[in-house]
Amino acid sequence: MATEDVKLIGSWASVFVMRAKIALHLKSISYEFLQETFGSKSELLLKSNPVHKKMPVLIHADKPVCESNIIVQYIDEAWNSSGPSILPSHPYDRAIARFWAAYIDDQWFISLRSILTAQGEEEKKASIAQVEERTELLEKAFNDCSKGKPFFNGDHIGYLDIALGSFLGWWRVVELDANHKFLDETKTPSLAKWAERFCDDPAVKPIMPEITKLAEFARKLFPKPQA
Amino acid sequence: MADEVILLDYWPSMFGMRTKMALAEKGVKYEYKETDPWVKTSLLLEMNPIHKKIPVLIHNAKPICESLIQLEYIDEVWSDAYTILPSDPYQKSQARFWADFIDKKFYDPSWKVWATMGEEHAAAKKELLEHFKTLETELGDKSYYGGEVFGYVDIALMGYYSWFKAMEKFGEFSIETEFPKLTTWTKRCLKRESVVKALADSDRIIEYVYVMRKKFGAE
């Protein structure tokens, strides 16, 4: 296959950038990774995503695609003849995958992030309780979607696995920070096993950031107030 | 086996209007069930237990929630009829981007402009006008957002059309004066039966907004 001009603007620590990377790896697409400098936005980023000015941005043959879930779908469709399908094939399953991916970004992620930004113990406890509640829903969603198979998408990782799985590094960082385990063999048996499988997947393993590096980065991003 | 399609919707919902437009474009016959989202009926809770919101599209007893997801579903299931999303992957990604922009950015100030007062109202108005400008620029001289053909982004934004008059009234601005390209585009879209039949009367929406303003304490 001819090398196509594919660039990805992002950061090693970003969950949303990771989604794009996993999709590119699944499809065996070579790309140039353009690491953004922490604290500033490159000219290319601002030019390619003038509306949101955010990463990731996939640039394919000089044409930018923005928003991580939109990028993943684009990769699946533009390279539909290579690698496994990322979206399920049946329209109803696709609707369900899209529903839960939206839930993860609009509800679940917001409560996870609020643990790191919580002011005081009371706020933190409330955020933790909310993440517990929302994770329970994801455990049920996994059981419904996977139908006994190893991933949300069935036999191999797909759209919804990528949507949630890219959070696993940060999720671990939040668990350590809050001193609270969310992914647990007793509370979330299916998700706990799925998480291990996801991280071991050849498309994911080489690009999952190290937890210690992420934790250090988290301290920079979410500084604790001085006692 | 004949398809059974039910739509749980509430008459003022801009999201429900989108789904109605899409179903009409595809010529899909469906049963409309007026569902007040403030009254959580057992059917609504059963079909959308996570968000408990309308619209809910129920196809052969299986629920599909979230209007943009419904649009893609309708396009994929009734694929031999009029296509809503472009087939080219890049064009499709752009269509998804703009529909996402409308829901992520445009939606909030679009209701805050009538629901809030004072500083919050001023901020909402400023933001709303900025987003209208972005949408005006993106449309440019095209007939529709996707080019020559009415589609996904047009449906996503026209869903809000019934609410434009209320936004203008409480935001104290005129879309026709500020955004001439959008105005031409709305008139073009309003020539479509699917659009006209899906929309609520703008004055009825303004009456509804007065009721909602009291609820929000803005009256």
The answer to whether position B115 is within a domain reads yes
Where along chain A do its domains lie?
6-79, 91-221
Query: What is residue B2's predicted lDDT score, i.e. its pLDDT?
Result: 77
- Name chain A contacts of B96, Cβ cutoff 8 Å: 67, 70, 73
User: Do B37 and B15 have their domain in common?
Assistant: yes
Q: Report whether A128 contacts A112 (CB < 8 A).
A: no
- Name chain A contacts of B101, Cβ cutoff 8 Å: 51
Per-residue pLDDT of chain B (219 residues; tens, 9 = 90+): 579 999 999 999 999 999 999 999 999 999 999 999 988 899 999 999 999 999 999 999 999 999 999 999 999 999 987 899 999 999 999 999 999 999 999 999 999 999 999 999 999 999 999 999 999 999 999 999 999 999 999 999 999 999 999 999 999 999 999 999 999 999 999 999 999 999 999 999 999 999 999 988 887
User: Do B72 and B157 have their domain in common?
Assistant: no
Domain carrying residue B95 = 89-216
User: Do B98 and B191 have their domain in common?
Assistant: yes
User: Do B59 and B145 have their domain in common?
Assistant: no
Task: Tell how many helices (H) and how many strands (E) occur in chain B.
Answer: 12, 4
Average pLDDT over residues A157-183: 96
Which of B77, B92, B100 comes nearest A91 by C-beta?
Answer: B77
Three-state DSSP class for residue A154: strand
Q: Is A66 close to B101, i.e. CB distance below 8 A?
A: no
Mean pLDDT score of chain A: 95
| Yes or no: domain A91-221 corresponds to CATH 1.10.1240.10 | no
Residue A7 in this model has a pLDDT that exceeds 70? yes
Nearest residue in A to B133, CA atom: A51
Q: Is A70 close to B96, i.e. CB distance below 8 A?
A: yes
The answer to whether position B83 is within a domain reads no
Residue A225 in this model has a pLDDT that exceeds 60? yes
Which of B66, B89, B93 comes nearest A99 by C-beta?
Answer: B66
If one compares A220 and B164, the residue with the highest pLDDT of the two is: B164
CB atoms inside a 10 Å sphere around CB B53 = 18
HSE at residue B216, side-chain half, CA atoms within 13 A, is 16
Average pLDDT over residues A41-70: 97
Domain of residue B163, CATH code:
1.20.1050.10
Residue A224 in this model has a pLDDT that exceeds 80? no
The answer to whether position B156 is within a domain reads yes
- CA B54 – CA B172 distance, rounded (Å): 29
Amino acid letter, A5 = D
Three-state DSSP class for residue B14: helix
Query: What is residue A1's predicted lDDT score, i.e. its pLDDT?
Result: 40
Q: Is B97 close to A66, i.e. CB distance below 8 A?
A: yes
- CA B136 – CA B139 distance, rounded (Å): 5
CATH topology identical between A6-79 and A91-221: no
Superfamily in which the A6-79 domain is placed by CATH? Glutaredoxin (3.40.30.10)
Please state, in angstroms and as integers, the Cα–Cα distance from residue A175 to each residue in A5, A180, A189, following that order.
39, 5, 17
Q: Report whether A203 contacts A161 (CB < 8 A).
A: no
Number of folded domains that form chain B = 2
Q: Which residue has the tokens 């955004």?
A: B179
Average pLDDT over residues A66-79: 98
**Residue B39 contacts by C-beta under 8 Å, 6 or more apart in sequence?**
none
Please state, in angstroms and as integers, the Cα–Cα distance from residue B25 to each residue in A65, B58, B150, B156, B199, following that order.
28, 18, 10, 14, 14
User: Do B123 and B195 have their domain in common?
Assistant: yes
**DSSP 8-state symbol, A182:** -
- What would the pLDDT profile of A139-149 be if each residue is shown by its tens digit? 999 999 999 99
Q: How confident is the model at residue A4 (pLDDT cuts 50, 70, 90)?
A: confident
The answer to whether position B100 is within a domain reads yes
Q: What are phi and psi of A66, to 5 degrees?
A: -120, 160
Which of B73, B93, B96 comes nearest A95 by C-beta?
Answer: B73
- CA B175 – CA A192 distance, rounded (Å): 52
Query: What is residue A2's predicted lDDT score, i.e. its pLDDT?
Result: 42
**Residue A218 contacts by C-beta under 8 Å, 6 or more apart in sequence?**
A116, A170, A173, A177
Three-state DSSP class for residue B5: strand
HSE at residue B189, side-chain half, CA atoms within 13 A, is 29
**DSSP 8-state symbol, A108:** I
Nearest residue in B to A92, CA atom: B73
Q: Which residue has the tokens 């290319």?
A: A44
The answer to whether position B10 is within a domain reads yes
Amino acid letter, B202 = S
User: Do B135 and B46 have their domain in common?
Assistant: no
Q: Report whether A142 contacts A152 (CB < 8 A).
A: yes
User: Do B11 and B97 have their domain in common?
Assistant: no
Q: What are phi and psi of A159, to 5 degrees?
A: -50, -50
Which of A51, A74, A94 comes nearest B101 by C-beta?
Answer: A51
Residue A227 in this model has a pLDDT that exceeds 60? no
ipTM for the whole complex: 0.96
Q: Is A74 close to B100, i.e. CB distance below 8 A?
A: no
User: Do B73 and B115 have their domain in common?
Assistant: no
Domain of residue B35, CATH code:
3.40.30.10
Average pLDDT over residues A28-51: 96
Q: What are phi and psi of A58, to 5 degrees?
A: -95, 130
Helix (H) or strand (E) holding A15: helix A15-26
Residue A3 in this model has a pLDDT that exceeds 60? no
Burial of B141 from C-beta contacts in 10 A (0-12 / 13-18 / 19+): exposed
Q: Give the full edge-to-edge strand order of the sheet including B31-34.
A: B31-34, B5-9, B56-59, B62-65
Q: Is the pTM of the predicted complex or chain greater than 0.90?
A: yes
Residue A46 in this model has a pLDDT that exceeds 60? yes
Work out the widest C-alpha separation in chain A, in whole angstroms.
Answer: 58
The answer to whether position B84 is within a domain reads no
Query: What is residue B189's predicted lDDT score, i.e. its pLDDT?
Result: 98
